[in-house]
Structure formats: C-alpha cells, structure tokens
Amino acid sequence: MGQLLALASACVMPPQPRELVDTGFRTPEQALKSFQVFLRANLPEKEYLAFSAGFRRRNGVSSLTYAEARERLFREKPWLRQFARAEVVAEWPGSEGVHFIDARVLGRTIRVKLVREDFFEIWAGEDRLADGETDFERATRLEPSPRGARFAGQVVLEDSPPDLSGASWFTLGREWKIDDLYEPEADEPAPEPTPRA
C-alpha cells in the first residue's frame, strides 16, 4: 500500500502559477480547492492556513508544529496525501456558517466540513499590529449617506491597544476554513446533497 501511495504521489502535477494566484477562502469551494493546490505545491505553511481555529485546537496544531502534525495526519489518514486529486461529488449547506463537501479519492468518499470564521487584521506595512476573531455582523453596519450608502466596520481591541498611528491596512472579513476531513460511516445520516453538474 505504501508503494502504491508513493507511486500515486509522483503522478500529482504541481499547480500552475495561475492556480496559486487564485487561492483564497471566500467560499467553501474556493477554500477546498486552495487546500488541494497547497497540497500539490507542497506548501505546509499555506496548508495550515486552510484549517479552522477549531481544527487547530482539537489537533494541538500551531504554525510552528504543523509540519510535524502534518506527518502524523498523513499516517492516520493515508488518503490525505492524495487528497489533492480528490474530485468533488456533492455539497450542501449545514447549519448557519457550516458547509459540507463530499469528494472522492482512491475509491473513498471523504467528507469535508467547512466553517465560516470572522476575523480582523491591522497592519503597518509588513508588521501586523493586531488581529483576532470578531463577529462580522456586529462589527459592520450599513448607513444611508447623501451619496447613497456608507458601509462601515469597527472592532474592539482588548487589553492595551497597539500604537495605530502607522497603520496602513485594516481588514475585516469572513473566510471559510476546513474544520474536519473524514470518511463517513456507511449509515451516517446526512442532508440530501446537491449533486455536482
């Protein structure tokens, strides 16, 4: 089996530059495709960013320990090395902020649970001044203005706020991240999936 995986691994084509440029986490589909591109490109530091905060906590993973945890995940889930080749066969929304995608690889169905995460970042050039989780709906508001409408966002900086006088970039967003990947049990109930066209 190990030789088969190694042989299959050699057949995975590295991504094209355009595929790397198009990565992101704006939709569940883009998040999953980006993770597959990062696997194909062998970019562990980018793979790490594709996982949710909950996945990282449950698996005891940090940006410093992911490379080691990645090898453990590959041992526990041998199909994960080949997940870059997986083809999406169905997807459906779960509860608010949750989405499921079923993908097939090596004759297996892998269920991917994705969750939406709200976040903010404040940068001064290449220095991150502050970041964290937030509630996007509470942090944003749409107000009428003489020129149409004004979309405004604000976040609360806890503890002692940093010096923001040099701030050059403020991001307030929502991203989709992988919260779990697993082989569903044959009798595991699931909502009616939306088949892929």
- Token couple for 4: 């088969």
- What is the band of 174 on the pLDDT scale with cuts at 50, 70, 90? very high
pLDDT at position 2: 39
Task: Calculate ∠ Cα 66-25-107, nearest 5°.
Answer: 70
The domain ranges of the chain are 2-116+177-185, 118-172
Among residues of the chain, what percentage have pLDDT more than 90? 53
Which residues are registered as beta bridge partners of 41?
none
pLDDT at position 10: 43
pLDDT average, residue stretch 78-106: 93
**pTM flag (> 0.75):** yes
Kindly report which listed range (40-44, 48-52, 121-125, 156-160) carries the lowest average pLDDT score: 156-160
Contacts of 145 (CB under 8 A, 6+ apart): none
CB 113 within 8 A of CB 137: no
